[in-house]
Amino acid sequence: MHSIIEAAAMIAAGAKPRALVEECLARIDDRAGEGARVFLKLHADEARAAADFYHRLHAAGRAPSPFAGIPISAKDLFDVAGDVTTAGSVILRDAPPAQDDAPAIARLRAAGFITMGRTNMTEFAFSGLGINPHYDTPRNPYDRAAARIPGGSSSGAAVSVTDGMAFGAIGTDTGGSCRIPAALCGIVGFKPTAHRVPTQGAFPLSTSLDSIGPLTATVECAAVLDAVLAGEPIAPLQPFPVQGLRLAVPQTKVLDNVEPAVSGAFDAALTLLRKAGAVITDIPLREFSELPQINAKGGLSAAESYAIHRPLLAKHAKRYDPRVLARILRGQEQDAADYIDLVKARADFIRRIAPLTAPYDALVMPTVPVIAPRLAELAADDAYRHTNALVLRNPSIANFLDRCAISIPCHRAGDAPVGLMLIGEHDADRRLLAIAAGIEKVVAPRCA
């Protein structure tokens, strides 16, 4: 698995972007059918042509950025001019092709990144497990023989990076959909403050919670893609010193039901950070116990997704993944007053949490409390619902708080992937990335 930074160095040293594209295509073809699970549409010819074009621009000193010619992947819910945006569903297959690129895609193209294709995902992005009964489910590269889940909803995005089918990926994150698959597959996943990247041209799940972020090999790579997506200049990321870093570990909810493999990796990471000089404090944050009640009727995702899907449901309800459909239909439980109360409750929750976390540089917790389960273990609906709620529990806190958050691998090389999640403040995205880059040096193995 190469990083975006390494790929840029290779191009600067004279490597042809076409070679990078061909390497990704070879990996897509060399995964015993996995490439077909990961990519719902592959832009092979277009990628080759773009690579040759950027080679000529680099040779002439006219490349739009040092990253021009680097292959990435895009989640299936982004509009790409000429493609049908199916959002992991069969319902939209006959929709007209997109006329324009989504702003996120347009910004990546303007920087010279090459989109290899559209990656698989949970239907309409409404699950943290990554299971898709319509197009099959990408297998987790950690233990593909056991058919473990990749995490979702940006399932194909994570596997495309981990398997070297792309050097980075663009996903969305409404309740953890970048960070969950990153944690379970052993890479970096970043969720920006929601308004940081325009969401137009990305099929919505929850207009209040949706955000667009990268999945990459390293934090520095995530910072590059984040800057491009946010329309900011690409600047070198200076890792924040770990010595004296103030980290808070919430003691309510986020450490419940943590599997031994996860708790072992998490505790080991905290030990390493303390040895490196970080000041780590346990804080109660009992307010987190209020979230199940606040979201008892399905929360903002259910209400807003139901509003989005109501016209489609009238014609195509039987064609939805039944497990996704059940979550969308929870929106029927809320009337206008319920929704208004929920919006007010969220604003109040954000207001009350702010002074409790202000003294710290970041909150730290396991991204998800389990390692990737086997697909077979989730065949029963009860197991699916329980595991889905469990993997979404910690990451969704950042979305509800409207903050930035990142997952960094913290397991030992060769062990099941485990993510360490950092939650920063609202609009403190670049600071959090710098903090994460410092922490990555201490806790993260480089995945093979």
Quick one: tokens of 205? 């799940």
Task: List beta partners, residue 283.
Answer: 250
- Segments of the chain with pLDDT less than 50: 447-448
Q: What is the pTM of this model?
A: 0.97
Q: Give the per-residue pLDDT at 444.
A: 85
pLDDT tens, residue by residue, 66-107: 999 999 999 999 999 999 999 999 999 999 999 999 999 999
Q: Give the per-residue pLDDT at 33.
A: 73
**In contact, 357 and 363? CB cutoff 8 Å:** yes
Sign, CA dihedral 302-303-305-310, equals: positive
Q: Give the per-residue pLDDT at 447.
A: 40
- CA 358 – CA 22 distance, rounded (Å): 47
Residues taking part in catalysis: 75, 153, 177
Q: Give the per-residue pLDDT at 30.
A: 74
Q: Give the per-residue pLDDT at 31.
A: 60
Of the candidates 158, 157, 177, the residue with the CA atom closest to the CA atom of residue 74: 157
**In contact, 153 and 128? CB cutoff 8 Å:** yes
Query: Which residues contact residue 225 at a Cβ distance below 8 angstroms, ignoring those fewer than 6 apart?
Result: 4, 72, 108, 168, 170, 214, 216
What does the angle CA 182 – CA 159 – CA 386 come to, to the nearest 5 degrees?
A: 55
Quick one: tokens of 276? 């490196």
To the nearest whole percent, how much of the chain has pLDDT over 70? 98
- CA 420 – CA 399 distance, rounded (Å): 17
What domains are defined for the chain? 4-229 (3.90.1300.10)
**In contact, 97 and 118? CB cutoff 8 Å:** no
Q: Which amino acid is at 233?
A: P
